[in-house]
Amino acid sequence: MAEPKKIIAVLAGDGIGPEVMKAAREVADAAEKVFGLQMEWREALVGGAAIDARGSALPEETIEVCRSAKAVLFGSVGGPKWESLPPQEQPERAALLPLRKIFGLYANLRPAVLYPELVGCSPLRVERVVGGFDLLVVRELTGGLYFGKPKETTKTPKGERAVDTMVYETYEIERVAEVAFRAAAFRKKRVTLADKANVLETSLLWRKVVKQVALKHPQIALDFIYADNAAMQLVREPSRFDVLLCENLFGDMLSDEAAAVAGSLGMLPSASLGEGSFGLYEPAGGSAPDIAGKGVANPIAQILSLALMFEMSLGQPEVARAIRSAVAGAITDGWRTGDIAAKGEKSVGTGEMGKEIARRVASQGKKV
Ligand code: IPM
Ligand code: MG
């Protein structure tokens, strides 16, 4: 009997989401042919597009499509059109945060890689990034200030009082720390915890629990850094980091910074994982409304998110490798979208870059 098709939920969303998703789907088509995969791609509405069509950023039917799937390939959500909505209804908050919570996606992996050929794209001076770098932010994604209760604004005699709560329990730290240590085992074997143990109770618990988890991974070195210092070291010497483990808010900030020093947000994928193999894969860069619809966005972040999906949710590292090597080959051979082109260098649009990468995936198949 034929193997059942692997169902993937495709949530392209807003802004550049649909354009870069189209390019990623072409790469996926090429991979399907070369590797003889049986896939079914189920599209569903999310974000502003879903607000417009269905009145909600995360309609029930979209959640159902995600439930039916092995993984979610996510584009991006948000844009100026929906910015005047109340904060709780805005696409980012009303789509992404509930998706993370509903599916228990507590570990967010954000690789920030600067390819040696692209050191000129980094805003850092070349001597600080010579040879490129490869670091991985592992961010806790379903706890801390984002979700802690109480979370409210109340009236007071003098005005208003707003509170967010940073709260963590042992198990929440343990499980994401496990992910960080396991990731480090395949890398340079170092985990650095960024915290504010000089100020925060939660950070003291993080240190204690992470030290305990480290005992199970004697081959991995563990060190600690205050989050403010981590922010500074990221612009001084990003290559000193291997896996940077953070609670939710620190990880939000430090991953954006790591992405920025890596040159272009358009290159960076991410994976959000929970228990089991289900995951959500999205580019780090967001909906980029300023360039949406122009066909100039870099599709590589979406394409590398697809590669991560094959590796982490579908158990097909060989497909992931083929996609990554197609991307690396295109970069080496000088293919550039505008965001990664040096002054005077020729650049191509989203569609051309996607097709070139798809072509390389297809031709790799011919060699084997
Ligand atoms: C991210 C984003 C989200 C976050 C926003 C859009 C809610 O910044 O994924 O990093 O803060 O987690
Ligand atoms: Mg962020």
Per-residue pLDDT, 114: 94
Asked if the domains at 1-106+275-368 and 123-261 fall in one CATH topology, the answer is: yes
Q: Whose CA is nearest to atom 10 of ligand 1?
A: 252
What's the pLDDT tens digit per position in 33-83? 999 999 999 999 999 999 999 999 999 999 999 999 999 999 999 999 999
State the closest ligand 1 atom to the C-alpha of 92, by its place in the atom list counted from 1. Answer: 6
Q: Which pair of structure tokens corresponds to residue 338?
A: 């505008």
Give me 107's structure tokens.
Answer: 């570990």
Q: Ligand 1: does its nearest atom lie under 6 Å from the Cβ of 356?
A: no
What is the C-alpha separation between 337 and 351, in angstroms, rounded? Answer: 10
pLDDT of residue 264: 84
123-261 — its CATH code?
3.40.718.10
Q: Check if 281 is active-site.
A: no
Interval 122-130 mean pLDDT: 93
- The single residue of 22, 101, 188, 196 carrying the catalytic annotation is 196
Q: How far is CA 59 from CA 14, 95, 195, 273, in A?
A: 15, 9, 36, 21
The residue whose CA is least distant from atom 12 of ligand 1 is 252
Could you tell me if the CB of 282 is within 6 A of ligand 1?
A: no
Q: Whose CA is nearest to atom 3 of ligand 1?
A: 92
The confidence score (pLDDT) of residue 365 equals 64
Residue 333 is among the residues annotated as catalytic for this protein: no
Q: What is the mean pLDDT of residues 330-346?
A: 93
pLDDT at 366: 61
228 classed as catalytic: yes
214-223: average pLDDT: 98
Cα–Cα separations (whole angstroms), residue 126 to 116, 146, 312: 10, 36, 33
Cα 106 to its chain centre, rounded Å, is: 13
Is 223 labeled as catalytic in the residue annotation? no
* 226 in active site: no
Ligand 1 atom, smallest distance to 93 CA? 7
Distance of CA 249 from the midpoint of ligand 1 (Å): 9
Domain boundaries, the chain: 1-106+275-368, 123-261
The CATH architecture of the domain made up of 1-106+275-368 is 3-Layer(aba) Sandwich (3.40)
Percentage of the chain surpassing pLDDT 70? 98
Residues in the chain: 368
Ligand 2 centroid distance, CA of 284 (Å):
8
Q: Taking 60 as the threshold, does the pLDDT of residue 331 lie above it?
A: yes
Q: What is the pLDDT of residue 368?
A: 45
Convert the pLDDT of each residue in 227-256 to its tens digit. 999 999 999 999 999 999 999 999 999 999
Q: Is the CB of 26 within 6 Å of ligand 1?
A: no
Catalytic option among 195, 252, 281, 339: 252
Cβ of 96 closer than 6 Å to ligand 1, yes or no, is yes
